[in-house]
Each structure stands twice: as C-alpha cells, then as structure tokens.
Structure 1
Amino acid sequence: MNKNTLLLAGRPVRNLTLAVMAVISLSACTQQKLAQTQTELAGARECLVKQQEQNQVIAQQQASLIEQLQKVQTQLSVQQTLLEEQPKVIHAPAQPKMDCPPPPPPEKFLSSQPPLSDKQIVGLREQALIAGLNFVMQARISTNVANSVIDARNIQMFERNSEEWVRFTIYNPETKEPHVLERKRLRFQTVQTATSTNPDRRPVVEIRFTIGKLSQRGEFVLADRSDSEFPMLIGRNLLRDVMLVDVSGNYLAPLQRAEDAAPKN
C-alpha cells in the first residue's frame, strides 16, 4: 500500500478526495443523529414533568377523598352509637276501646256567691285596736318583714318569779297619754340598724290586738318608732294563715271597738 492509500471503515481508500467526503458525510450524520436524540430527550423530560404534576394532583385528590371518607365514617359511627343508646320502644297491643258513660254534671251552688274565706282581708294600711287599752294604732302591713314591731319607750328589764320580764311605755297616738305595760320576755331578736354597725338585741313580748274581725295574740319586737308614721308594723309572723293582703287597697278591715273598755294593765 502506497502513501496515498487511506483506511476508511477498515477498508483501504486510495482516493483522498473520496476519503474526505466520506468523513464529512459521516460527521453530518452523527450531528443530525445527536440533535434528534437531544430533541427526543427534551420531549421525554417534558412528558416526565407533566406526568409528575399529574401524579401530585392525583395524590392530592386521593388525600381529599380519604379525609372525606374518614368524616363520613365518623358520622356513621356517631349515628350508630346514638341509635344503640336510644331506648327501644315496645308497642303495646292496642286495647279495645271502651265506651265510658259521660261524667255527671257538676253540682250547682245554692248561692251565686263563692264561699267566704275565714281569713281577714287587709290593705297596706290598717287600724289596730290594742286590747286592754282600747285605743287605736296606725299599722303598716308588710309582707317583706318577718317579725312584727310595736312602738315602745322606756324599755326596762326586770325579774319576776325567777323569770325575765319587760316594762315599757306605749303612747296613745291621739291623746299622747302614756300607758305602762309589763309583759314576760319571750326572747331577744337581733336587729341590724342603719345607724349602728353593731346589731341590737331587742326584747320580744306578746300583745293582744284586733284588726277587723280578727282578734289574736301576737309576738312583737319592742322598738322606738317615734320617727315613723306607723307605730305598729305587722309582718309575716302575724299575717301567716290568718290574713290576706290586698296591696291595691287601704283600711279594708272595718274597725271594731269593744263596747266596754277592758281595765288597763
């Protein structure tokens, strides 16, 4: 083989021009093939990116479906628990209908007026007659006060037959005449006043009085009520079971004086 002979693809090429052309042709094919391969690779990468995005969307949809399914299962479980806790209703067999006779007509009152109550009806203001003194005190009726109070002055404690008694003075509201009374002390009542920080212990005695048709003995707390319009205050302890209060009226119980005044105590 001489110096002008070349090897191409393992074969001798004797013409230099042909060899160069063959090399150029082979290089062009290689570059074209490489460009085609890169284009296909770029397309494959783009498809891979789109497929990954689709996979993410599908994964998100699957997670949302799973969450909704869990919520539905929870609601079904709660409903099943409520159904199990509800008592079972047992339907009793239907009873045969019985024809009952009509009820008898109500009895008619002999009078159109309702039966009268034995309780004394009083208003917010009444006149109270003090037994044994035969004078009248203006009384305030109050359902907000527990214990009744009467105006008493010069209160003194003393002992009689080994028992505690109370001597006090009651004034006639009309003549201002003093009347000294003595009563056995029943107990002490603790009263909180607005003018003192310490509560006062006031004696409680029993006094007979009359309001309307009602005459009874009642427990009264002795206190100085000289500044009050009403020297007597009737509370719940005397109203209970014997008086009915009509808050819309005053002096509903007519005053009943004794024909002969009892001797003074």
Structure 2
Amino acid sequence: MKNKTIIGNLEYIALPKLGITELQVRVDTGAKTSSLHVDNIKKVLIDGEHCVSFDIHPDSHNVDTVKSCHAPISDIRKIKSSNGTVEQRYVIKTPVVLGQQKWSIEITLTDRSDMSYLMLFGREALGTRFLVDPSAVYLG
C-alpha cells in the first residue's frame, strides 16, 4: 500500500495516442472495463490492419469540439451495462496518463450520451497502482 497513489472519484487523464490531453473521467471500481463515449464508430482497414474510427468530444462542456480518431481493434466483447443490457463493443488498447504514471489500458467504445461523464475509468485500468478515495476529486 505504500507505493500506491490515492486518486479521487473524478480525475483528469490524457490519452496521448488519441490526441487527448485532458479528459475528465469517473473512476468506477464497480466497472470492470473502462468505457469511452464516442460517435460515428466505423470498422476500417488501415494498412491492412483492422481498426475502428470514431469521433470524440474531449470537452464535455463544449460538444462542438470534435476530435476524429482511429485505433487498432484489440477485441470485440459483449459488455453488460449498469442497466443490465448487453452490448457488443469494440475494444482498443491505448496508453493513458494519470498524474505522473503512464501505462496501457483497454477501453470499450460506446454511446454514453445519456451518462454524466464521457468516460468510466474501470478497475482493470486502475490495476494495482491506485487507491480510490470516493470522497475526493482530482487528486491525481
């Protein structure tokens, strides 16, 4: 426990390979996998590699800001959402930066437009690096 960083239930992360420098996320230890709200999801072939292209709104307060991204498809999984519905989602693997730490995580891509936060940061992404203080925000 000595080497773990304490983070809050809301944090800012960067997804450098996607060109996202600051994205507010909800840290959710109840969610196994991280999920990201994206629009216009399309499977594409780039240099012979199966990829997914999508649009993201990195600033939740300005939906006019759109960033077009693409990433190799790491997997396609059936995910059960918090309301119990099962959805098939593309999974990408990408580096993430939180505070002074950088590592790779898996993210499922989905429509989270009816949710308060663009991204859930799940327990697989947290790994053994962090402890979560649910009463705090922006500690990382």
Q: Does the CA-based 8 Å contact 1:120-1:212 persist in structure 2?
A: no
C-alpha separation between the residues in 2 aligned to 1:183 and 1:242? 25
Asked if 2 retains the 8 angstrom alpha-carbon contact of 1:120 and 1:214, the reply is no
User: After superposition, where does 1:97-176 map in structure 2 within 5 Å?
Assistant: 117-132=2-17, 133-173=19-59, 174-175=61-62, 176=64
Measured after TM superposition, the shift of residue 117 of structure 1 is 3.5
Give CA-to-partner distance per residue, 1:210-240, whole Å, 9 cap, x none: 2212222211000111222111111111111
Change (3 A) 1:250 1:118: same
The 5 Å alignment of 1:175-214 reads 175=62, 176-193=64-81, 194=83, 199-214=86-101
Say if 1:144 and 1:134 are closer, same or farther in 2 by CA, change over 3 A.
closer
- Aligned partner letter, 1:158: V
Asked if the contact 1:120–1:213 (Cα under 8 Å) also holds between the matched residues in 2, the reply is no
Q: Superposition RMSD on alpha carbons, in Å?
A: 2.1
Q: Provide the residue aligned with 2:115 in structure 1.
A: 228
In 2, distance between residues paired with 1:122 and 1:228? 21
Shift of 1:186: 0.6
Q: Decide whether the 8 Å contact of 2:35 with 2:119 is kept in 1.
A: yes
Task: Decide which structure has the larger Cα Rg and report it.
Answer: 1
For CA contacts below 8 A with separation 6 or more, give which structure has more relative contact order. Answer: 2
Contact 2:15 2:21 in 1 (8 A): yes
| Higher helix fraction (1 or 2) | 1
User: Which residue identity does 2:77 align to in structure 1?
Assistant: Q
Give matches, 1:15-164, under 5 Å. 117-132=2-17, 133-164=19-50
Change over 3 Å in CA distance of 1:163–1:130 after alignment to 2: closer
Q: Secondary structure at the match of 2:108?
A: strand
Q: TM-score, normalised by structure 2?
A: 0.84
Contact 2:33/2:108, CA 8 A, preserved across alignment: yes
Pairwise CA distance, 1:119: 2.6
C-alpha deviation, 1:246, in angstroms:
1.6
Give the Cα separation in 1 of the matches to 2:73 and 2:84.
25
Q: 1:215 is matched with which residue: 65, 87, 102?
A: 102
What amino acid maps onto 2:123 in structure 1? R
**Runs of at least 4 residues off by over 4 Å:** 193-196
Contact 2:20/2:58 (8 A) holds in 1:
no
